[in-house]
Structure 1
């Protein structure tokens, strides 16, 4: 039986308000209601769209596996254990056949572990709500696992901002572990935050994104590029920009101040206050345009929000241009761009819009920007590659590393990148592999050309070695050491 995922608008009362979420349909095309209830709970808890998508995919896989194996297991626990194993191994045998009809390829350790965690949470909730049996119950952990759990508990509380008001006693759950946890991924060292090649930026700006045939398209995409490369924004944050959020910089008349407000809780523009007294952007969108915030939508219209901190009680991110010339360039392009927008009908407040004939005036989507970004790279003979820094997010890395190379203090870099903690920016400020190699090469050259003679380490003589002994091959000192017990003549 094929489990189908669809996006649906769910109405829960007579108010006319709906929520758009993914749901699952069975073979009769009927909604799987327990899962629907769980997804509604996740949305009420404020879970992100990516989290909801992971729960949906994991549940879809489990239901498909259960339907393909209706009589193979005696208990829910044994079924879940075997299902978890198939996430890692896939369902295709060595002869290329799969009698179950699933034909799954092996999942990565990271993805499989995420699915196991999501399903554990889901089945716990179902067992509690419907008095069912736990599929992945807790069991007593061994000594090693208890130590790891304690280390995780300690680290979490050590960095908890409100930890001083919490109970400091170790939670009893440290002594327990899930029956099925999933395989641990290999440990990874901190990787370089690959930045966009600075020597390619000018070409990409003028001939890449700037090479679009439609001048309006070129202006729009260059403005977004400036926000990422010169302001350190994520591409999703740039697409939340409203026209009212760009102001003349009071300290530099040739530049602009740009503020990116939280799509829901951010303060509405022009001191707007709704009929019910609300002043948030969510209320403004609903009352003025009958729209929901973009981070609440699903599908191509969705634009996420990642930052956990803002720069003001009005809930906005301030763009700090570095170097400041980027703000001045943005101001000039912005003046031209807004002139093109005057004659275009828009039923929304977003600054960046589509100029495609089929979607003219609609909010610009992330998919469309990524497509134009790839076309811009192609115009200058480059291919998208995260490993080479040729991706939208690499411009944020460039911004962070540029600040570090200029000697800006880490606490200021944290403010510029809108990070919640100093730890978050380690990947942006850690020296790159190239910088480490260059530094070591310079140090090696200095060592070789040093006036002071290099101390040479010679091989000790046998006499010296036997006096000090060999603890690995002669631990009892029978033949070596200060007073060997055997192997030497006695005077008596």
Structure 2
């Protein structure tokens, strides 16, 4: 058995504190270091783009891959069309041959067409930005200093991009170019027509078992239930499955964001924008200001994805005060969540000692992390005898899918579901509402049973089965209607 070799790298990813020429404070960014130093132009591009840290990490990886390919592929650099087309081909087919050897030393596995096109799209945005920089010429990227060799190569791609505006345009027809906006770089290939993959939701028949038996923090033999149950994970999972929250949204909730409706004995949960949301105390402009001045922290979206405090934010719709209220369904689940959350506060929450405002903490009183909650959820799913995977619907996101499907199954309109799930576009919720293959098969069975005539049913004859060339035992129990 041959062992795969590690790829050679010409650009290494690191984390740096960067302050742009027009910025007042430093920000933490991913960066690329080559033999000639840090790629400054990339840092400037990332700092000017008001995008998520996940996007910044993807751009950095894409640029690093291009630099590695330029240095190691052996493709002549006097033809950008050949280079970019070859780069995309290498992304799609990989660089490893049948003997598991790779003359380039890259050792790239093959990627899906969509993934390869996404990488090219990220590079397109960067080269677009390069062409608009003052003093851009294909040799000098930054007007203050000369470009390094790596920057010169990237800038050269951008120069040809600006001159031609549609690299590889001669390889595509006008119709294809019009249909596909990514043709200007290397041409996004037309995908084969496919039906969207069915979205797996958490199996409802196992949810109560997950809550009652999956989330434990001590031996099941513990007599005191308060020591045995993991109330925190119960509360967080209820927010996803019956409140429709995304996993990342859990980690932006402050302790003050959870209130009690005394009349109904229900929880009222508000989820604020991580930075622009209203601070829970007077004297602060917003939550970003509140975190900085009181706790010396940043909004959790501003931490790098590789840092434990990072939590994403997918821009859900909010009101003018930059928050939305969780809509529990069925409404009685608001009471169930309140009970779990109160037990968590009374018996298990470790006091943060004024170090942060977040509702959910770890065993040391620090803000709970996505990675740790994923570990707890996976362990709970396995504990009740299920496999934990996205395909089975038993990952954390399967709960949000269950929430959306439950609303649709109970007659809520598309616009009502959009509002409940806080989508910006009414069609965004459709992916949560589609029936699974099993749903369709069950409906077919019910429809067939409803329309079935009173004709008697007979079992297949043995000679019919044997004529098919398969063992009779494998067809036992198969029936067919009489003619």
Q: Give the TM-score normalised by structure 2.
A: 0.79
1:200 aligns to 2:231 (yes or no): no
Q: 2:85 aligns with which of 72, 81, 85?
A: 81
Tell me the distance in 2 between the aligned counterparts of 1:363 and 1:384.
Answer: 25
- Seen in structure 2, the aligned counterparts of structure 1 residues 418 and 361 have a Cα distance that, compared at 3 Å, is same
Tell me the distance in 2 between the aligned counterparts of 1:219 and 1:73.
Answer: 60
The answer to whether the Cα contact below 8 Å between 2:84 and 2:185 also exists between their aligned partners in 1 is: no
Tell me the distance in 1 between the aligned counterparts of 2:116 and 2:106.
Answer: 16
The answer to whether the Cα contact below 8 Å between 2:20 and 2:47 also exists between their aligned partners in 1 is: no
Deviations 1:102-159 (A, max 9, x none): 121212211111111111221232233222243554137624325525xxxxxxxxxx
The answer to whether the Cα contact below 8 Å between 2:11 and 2:32 also exists between their aligned partners in 1 is: yes
The answer to whether the Cα contact below 8 Å between 2:74 and 2:104 also exists between their aligned partners in 1 is: no
Q: Shift of the alpha carbon at 1:13? A: 7.6
How many residue pairs get aligned? The number is: 411
Counterpart of 2:327? 320
Matched ranges for 1:286-435 at <5 A: 286-298=292-304, 299=306, 300-310=308-318, 312-339=319-346, 340-341=348-349, 343-355=351-363, 360-435=364-439
Report the secondary structure of 1:336's partner residue: helix
Tell me the distance in 2 between the aligned counterparts of 1:83 and 1:345.
Answer: 53
Tell me the distance in 2 between the aligned counterparts of 1:250 and 1:186.
Answer: 55
Tell me the distance in 1 between the aligned counterparts of 2:435 and 2:93.
Answer: 38
Tell me the distance in 2 between the aligned counterparts of 1:344 and 1:125.
Answer: 44
Deviations 1:151-198 (A, max 9, x none): xxxxxxxxxxxxxxxxxxxxxxx8x94151243433332333211111
The answer to whether the Cα contact below 8 Å between 1:117 and 1:181 also exists between their aligned partners in 2 is: no
Counterpart of 1:273? 283
- Seen in structure 2, the aligned counterparts of structure 1 residues 100 and 410 have a Cα distance that, compared at 3 Å, is closer
Report the secondary structure of 1:210's partner residue: coil
The answer to whether the Cα contact below 8 Å between 2:72 and 2:106 also exists between their aligned partners in 1 is: yes
Counterpart of 1:152? none
Tell me the distance in 2 between the aligned counterparts of 1:26 and 1:113.
Answer: 25
1:221 aligns to 2:237 (yes or no): no
Tell me the distance in 1 between the aligned counterparts of 2:93 and 2:442.
Answer: 43
Q: Give the TM-score normalised by structure 1.
A: 0.78
- Seen in structure 2, the aligned counterparts of structure 1 residues 320 and 341 have a Cα distance that, compared at 3 Å, is same
- Seen in structure 2, the aligned counterparts of structure 1 residues 66 and 309 have a Cα distance that, compared at 3 Å, is same
- Seen in structure 2, the aligned counterparts of structure 1 residues 415 and 293 have a Cα distance that, compared at 3 Å, is same
- Seen in structure 2, the aligned counterparts of structure 1 residues 204 and 420 have a Cα distance that, compared at 3 Å, is same
Report the secondary structure of 1:5's partner residue: strand
Is there any run of 5+ residues in structure 1 with no aligned partner, and where?
A: 150-173, 452-492
Report the secondary structure of 1:283's partner residue: helix
Counterpart of 2:459? none
Question: Larger Rg: 1 or 2?
Answer: 1
Counterpart of 1:108? 112
Q: Shift of the alpha carbon at 1:240? A: 0.9
Tell me the distance in 2 between the aligned counterparts of 1:48 and 1:122.
Answer: 15
Is there any run of 5+ residues in structure 2 with no aligned partner, and where?
A: 1-8, 139-155, 220-225, 456-483
Q: Shift of the alpha carbon at 1:14? A: 12
Q: Shift of the alpha carbon at 1:210? A: 3.4
The answer to whether the Cα contact below 8 Å between 1:346 and 1:362 also exists between their aligned partners in 2 is: no
- Seen in structure 2, the aligned counterparts of structure 1 residues 350 and 428 have a Cα distance that, compared at 3 Å, is same
Q: Shift of the alpha carbon at 1:217? A: 7.8
- Seen in structure 2, the aligned counterparts of structure 1 residues 14 and 85 have a Cα distance that, compared at 3 Å, is closer
1:3 aligns to 2:14 (yes or no): no
